Amino acid sequence: MSSEAPMPTDSSHQALAPKIRLEKVSKIFGRHADQALDLLAQGLDKKTVQERTGVVVGVYDISLEIAEGEIFVIMGLSGCGKSTLLRLINRLHEPTTGKVFIGEEDITAMRARELRRLRRNAFGMVFQSFALLPHRNVLSNVEFGLELHGVARQARRERAQQAIETVGLSGYEHKYPDELSGGMQQRVGLARALAVDPQILLMDEAFSALDPLIRGQLQDDLIAIQERMGTTVVFVSHDLDEAIKIGTRIAILRDGRLVQVGTPQEILAAPADDYVSAFVRGADRTKVLTAADVMLPLHTFAHLRDSPRALLRKMQHSGFSGLIVLDNQRHPLGYVELRQVIEMRDQTRLERSALRPLPCATPEEPLSELIRRSNVEGSPMVVCDTKGRAIGVIDKTTLLAALAQQGETDESTAATGEQTAEQPACAPPTPPASERNPSSEESQVPVEREDKS
Amino acid sequence: MKEFAPIPLGEWVSDGIDRLTREYATAFDSISFVIYELIDALKSGLHAIPAPWFIVLLSLLAVLAAGWRRPGGWGLGLFTLVGLGLVWNLRLWDDLITTLSLVLASEALVLLVGIPLGIASAKSAMVERILRPVLDVMQTMPAFVYLVPAVIFFGLGLVPGVISTTIFALPPLIRLTSLGIRQVPRELVEAALAFGATWWQLLTKVQVPVALPAIMAGVNQSIMLGLSMVVIAAMIGAGGLGNVVLEGITQLDVGKGFVGGLAVVILAIVLDRITQSMGKIYQQKGKPR
């Protein structure tokens, strides 16, 4: 079958800490790499270096750490070196300088045999053009990786079958690639990668060649599979919405240099420079920002035992025309409006029946969902933690403000370096009386956002 | 103006050939012996099959190769049956078998040398650079030129015929094999490497199978070129259908020449269609049939 004896799988399955670490990695294509590296160190850009030395810069001076179980997205325009960077991770490209560690192992120092062992045991790879073997049927394509490992026929058939089921291709085992649609072909590609049970899944623009609907499905599948298997995924994409949807962190490359690394929220909220902000301009914020990102902290609220007169004073101070009522454990009880407080002003206590029930949101709910719910269930909305305690409030103004940011984009914030998702300067402390008004905290107070960094 | 003396290029070559024949006589003799045995075995093997059987078997093979579910397959089978039947009827069967053995033997040598060289030239830029001018010479140098050294080295008969046919038929297979392997999509190669393929696994499981249509086109081309050498090879005593044509020419017997030529054409068409269909079937594997 092959010149090399089948690799025994016993010794090779030693525990690798599947974490990827890149240390000052550069890749220059062509001769005179030293000269090009000097020029790059002086801060010249890719194009100038190419004009002066004739070499093509893949990536320059990239240091990164990718944690186990992450979906790490490498983003950038075409030609920015993102596919090169991906291929440096499994050494399909030889780095010109720098080191790449897979777990504790320095892949750049490996001999050919060791490298093959690592590739067989740690990596699965999925390609933009699917890269399926046209002369093999689906089953046989999925078996390919295992076949290279020298896994026995019966065992590899079983594992391939499992992988085919995982990606939802059962029943197509004996079809040939050219009988399948693009989306199905890429499922085969994914199954082929999953069949070897990889610790690291490298995906090179894997979904870019597919139409949006199929792409969305495959993204969902990938997320589900990743959650189930805990695989570390490195995903190259030029599509920001895709990166935001699947990525736990995103790295943005420009001309072979690393511009910014962060969670989708961080990148949207604080683009490192004009390039990144131009990049994120088109992103759909409503899918990224969550209740926790846009909510205002709940500082001003009412207790049931408060007297209506005390509440009136609170409202006067804060300028709110309504208040959220909490119990002692900060569980929300309801919402009381100025009009009702005025009616009850001679009583000593609020009546529970006067409270309007409040919709509750979780901190993770995306903005798009919040907008939908506020239409149906009214506002304000309380954001509660897992124990049901109120941690923040969202009203229509907050939602509009968050949306407004999407339209007017990040130019201003990129310039000042401030975070975006807070209050728009124009938001009045007391919104128009036509609406039932927010009982939330003063808008002027800057909101502490929880950035997961 | 003083004229330069002519460079004695021709003499050098003659001297070189002389020295080769003198010093490596045993080597050439043993090569000659091996090839002779090869052809002889092939020839007597093919002769052992009675002509009618052979014709029917080849027709069936043609039908299978071209696909028995397609009408074209049966057409090819019928053509083979009638065409070869005609050759038999014309009492040219023995000559046809001799020619067929010559072509098959040289094709075996072509495959043996051509595919490894094609692979090497696809994988190494150095090999490609060296091979390219050599192939150019092989393809453009008139065949008569190396007919003479072939005779000097290997004597008269089938063996020098096979050798010169091999030289003539080799280039397209090397070129197409190399091209086919170079044209295997980069991502396919990367995929194999990313899954930890060895050099050999990459070659046998990915590059050669994907390049196979191109390689089959090369095989087809080299068989056709081999057949076109039949008459020339007959000049150095290779015999077969080429001899019939040659006799026709030398005796100014137009009829005989035509009949011999027709038999060559029939054999060529049959071999061409069969090898082409084999390549196509491979390509279409996977398409709904």
Q: Could you give all domains of chain B from N- to C-terminal order, each with its CATH number?
A: 19-48+90-284 (1.10.3720.10)
What pLDDT digit, counting tens, does each position of A107-165 carry?
Answer: 999 999 999 999 998 999 999 999 999 989 999 999 999 999 888 999 999 999 999 99
3-state secondary structure labels for all residues of chain A: CCCCCCCCHHHHCCCCCCCEEEEEEEEEECCCHHHHHHHHHCCCCHHHHHHHHCCEEEEEEEEEEECCCCEEEEECCCCCCHHHHHHHHCCCCCCCEEEEEECCEEHHHCCHHHHHHHHHHHEEEECCCCCCCCCCCHHHHHHHHHHHHCCCHHHHHHHHHHHHHHCCCCCCCCCCHHHCCHHHHHHHHHHHHHHCCCCEEEEECCCCCCCHHHHHHHHHHHHHHHHHHCCEEEEEECCHHHHHHHCCEEEEEECCEEEEEECHHHHHHCCCCHHHHHHHCCCCHHHHCEHHHHCEECCCCEECCCCHHHHHHHHHHHCCCEEEEECCCCCEEEEEEHHHHHHCCCCCCCCHHHCECCCEECCCCEHHHHHHHHHHHCCCEEEECCCCCEEEEECHHHHHHHHHHHHHCCHHHHHHCCCCCCCCCCCCCCCCCCCCCCCCCCCCCCCCCCCCC
pLDDT tens sequence across B190-227: 999 999 999 999 999 999 999 998 999 999 999 999 99
Q: What is the per-residue pLDDT for B36?
A: 86
- Contact check, Cβ <8 Å, B198/A149: no
Residue B264 has pLDDT above 70, yes or no: yes
Helix (H, G, I), strand (E, B) or coil at B94: helix
Question: Within an 8 Å CB–CB cutoff, is residue B289 touching chain A?
Answer: no
Q: Is residue B193 less than 8 Å (CB to CB) from chain A?
A: yes
Query: What does the pLDDT average to over A307-335?
Result: 82
CB within 8 Å: A90 and B286: no
Phi–psi pair at A100, nearest 5 degrees? -125, 125
**Is B38 in a helix, a strand, or coil?**
helix
Alpha carbon distance A367, A359 (integer Å): 15
What is the fold of A291-416?
A: CBS-domain (3.10.580)
Please answer whether residues A420 and A405 qualify as being in contact, where contact means their C-beta atoms are separated by less than 8 angstroms: yes
Residues B20-77 pLDDT 10s: 888 888 888 888 888 888 888 988 898 888 989 999 999 988 888 877 777 777 888 8
Q: Quote the percentage of chain A above a pLDDT of 70.
A: 84
Q: Is A376 exposed, middle or buried (0-12, 13-18, 19+ CB in 10 A)?
A: exposed
Compute chain B's Rg from CA coordinates.
Answer: 22
Residues of chain A with CATH 3.10.580.10: 291-416
The residue with greater pLDDT, B50 or A431, is B50
Task: Read off the pLDDT band of A204 (50, 70, 90).
Answer: very high
Q: Where, residue-wise, is CATH 3.40.50.300 in chain A?
A: 16-262
The H or E element containing residue B21 is helix B9-23
Contact B195 A123 (CB under 8 A): yes
Q: Which residues of A fall within a CB distance of 8 Å from B197?
A: 116, 148
B129: its two tokens: 């650079």
pLDDT at residue B108, as a whole number: 92
Q: How many CB pairs under 8 A join A and B?
A: 88
Residue A407 is predicted with a pLDDT of: 52
Question: Backbone phi, then psi, for A239, in 5-degree steps?
Answer: -105, 115
Test the A interface: residue of B119, B183, B186, B195 with most A CBs within 10 Å: B195
Nearest to A233 by CA among A453, A66, A83: A66
Strands A123-126 and A200-204: parallel
- Distance separating alpha carbons of residues B276 and B66, to the nearest angstrom: 8
* Nearest chain A Cα distance for residue B280, angstroms: 12
Which strand (E) or helix (H) includes residue B1?
A: none
- Nearest chain A alpha carbon to B287: A179
Between chains, do A90 and B205 touch, taking CB under 8 Å as contact? no
Q: How far apart are CA A157 and CA A163, in angstroms?
A: 10
**CA proximity to B177, closest of B95, B98, B120, B100:** B120
Q: Provide ipTM, 2 decimals.
A: 0.77
Mean pLDDT in residue range A266-293:
78
Mutation to test the B interface, candidates A7, A89, A116, A132, most B Cβ within 10 Å: A116
pLDDT at B263 exceeding the cut of 80: yes
What is the reported pTM? 0.71
Both tokens of A362, joined, read 């979780």
Distance from CA of B238 to the nearest CA of A (A): 40
Q: In what helix (H) or strand (E) does residue B280 lie, and over which residues does it extend? A: helix B254-284
Q: How high is the pLDDT of residue B282?
A: 61
Cβ-proximal residues to B94 (8 Å cutoff; 6+ apart), any chain? B47
CB atoms under 10 Å from CB of A354, counted, come to: 17
Give yes or no for a cis peptide into A431 (omega within 30° of 0): no
Counting every residue written for chain B, the total comes to: 289
pLDDT at position A424 over 50: no
Flag whether residue A285 sits within 8 Å of chain B, measured between CB atoms.
no
Cα first-last separation, chain B: 75
Sheet (strand A200-204) strand order: A123-126, A200-204, A232-237, A71-75, A249-254, A257-262
State the nearest Cα–Cα gap between A90 and chain B, in angstroms. Answer: 7
A381-384, strands of its sheet edge to edge: A296-297, A390-394, A381-384, A360-361
Query: Tokens in use for A296?
Result: 């205002």
Output the pLDDT for position A451: 41
What is the percent of chain A where pLDDT is above 90?
Answer: 32
Q: Class for domain A16-262, per CATH? A: alpha beta
User: How far is Cα of residue B116 from the mean position of the Cα atoms in its chain?
Assistant: 15
DSSP letter at B3?
P
